């Protein structure tokens, strides 16, 4: 069966990805900053749980070395934060903004660079990045500048990456999971994690190199940049 590595797998969408892929018989490598506190993740049968701090070079390099020789069919960059919201211009907390950019825009590329050899050695050769429709400049409705800009930066970086690795047969895509009932999305969101992940997995299952560099909704619709 294929192998998937999931970042930020201890809760929300990442945990649901872990449950669904494991239930379908995939080999799942699920990561969390502190596995000792990830009780729900460790309760999923048959899952390999690993420690990973996506913002730390040494942590990422150590796990990539530990998994040397492992073929990763789908590298799923899910870890992210919302950061503080509601700042008006003149009140922006630039340290907080830097943290959001570090986690949401820089860290996924750090992880991808480290694990690209593992992906290239696999059959499916897919790298998926969980982004947001809030990254779309075309659809921008204002507000949440820190979060929006971090995901926009991620999208651009992935667009560049997709062009660079296309001739290696590696597919890179960014995806919007929907407005999901998680800690980040809140209880008033539109869909459950199960609905989101089921849709995302269907999109992932239909990916090929012709779709590299694209921005998809969880229902398969393509978003404008």
Active-site residues, by number, are: 147
Instruction: Report DSSP letters for the chain, one per residue.
Output: --EEEESSTTSHHHHHHHHHHHHTT-EEEEEES-GGG-HHHHTSTT-EEEE--TT-HHHHHHHHHHTTT---SEEEE---------PPTT---HHHHHHHHIIIIIHHHHHHHHHHHHHHTSSS-EEEEE--GGG-STT--S--HHHHHHHHHHHHHHHHHHHHHGGGT-EEEEEE--SBSSTTT-TT-SB-HHHHHHHHHHHHHT--GGGTT-EEETTSPBPP-
CA–CA gap between residue 58 and residue 24 (Å, rounded): 32
In angstroms, the CA 14 to CA 49 distance is 12
């Amino acid at each position: 069966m294929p192998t998937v590595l999931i970042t930020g797998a201890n809760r929300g969408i990442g945990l649901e990805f872990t449950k669904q892929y494991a239930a379908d018989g995939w080999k799942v490598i699920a990561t969390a900053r502190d596995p000792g506190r990830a009780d729900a993740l460790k309760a999923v049968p048959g899952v390999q749980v690993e420690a990973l701090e996506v913002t730390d070079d040494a942590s990422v390099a150590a796990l990539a070395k530990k998994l040397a020789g492992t073929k990763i069919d789908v590298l799923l960059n899910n870890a992210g934060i919302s950061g503080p919201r509601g700042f008006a211009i003149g009140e922006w907390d630039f340290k907080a903004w830097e943290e959001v950019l570090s986690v949401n825009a820089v860290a996924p590329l750090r992880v991808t660079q480290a694990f690209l050899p593992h992906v290239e050695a696999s059959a499916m050769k897919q790298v998926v990045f969980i982004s947001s429709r809030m990254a779309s400049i075309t659809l921008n409705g204002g507000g949440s500048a820190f979060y929006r800009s971090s995901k926009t930066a991620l999208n651009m970086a992935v667009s560049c990456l997709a062009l660079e690795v296309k001739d290696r047969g590696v597919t890179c895509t960014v995806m919007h999971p929907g407005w999901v009932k998680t800690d980040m999305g809140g209880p008033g969101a539109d869909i459950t994690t199960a609905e989101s992940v089921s849709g995302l997995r269907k999109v992932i299952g239909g990916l090929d190199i012709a779709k590299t560099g694209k921005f998809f909704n969880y229902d398969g619709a393509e978003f404008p940049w």
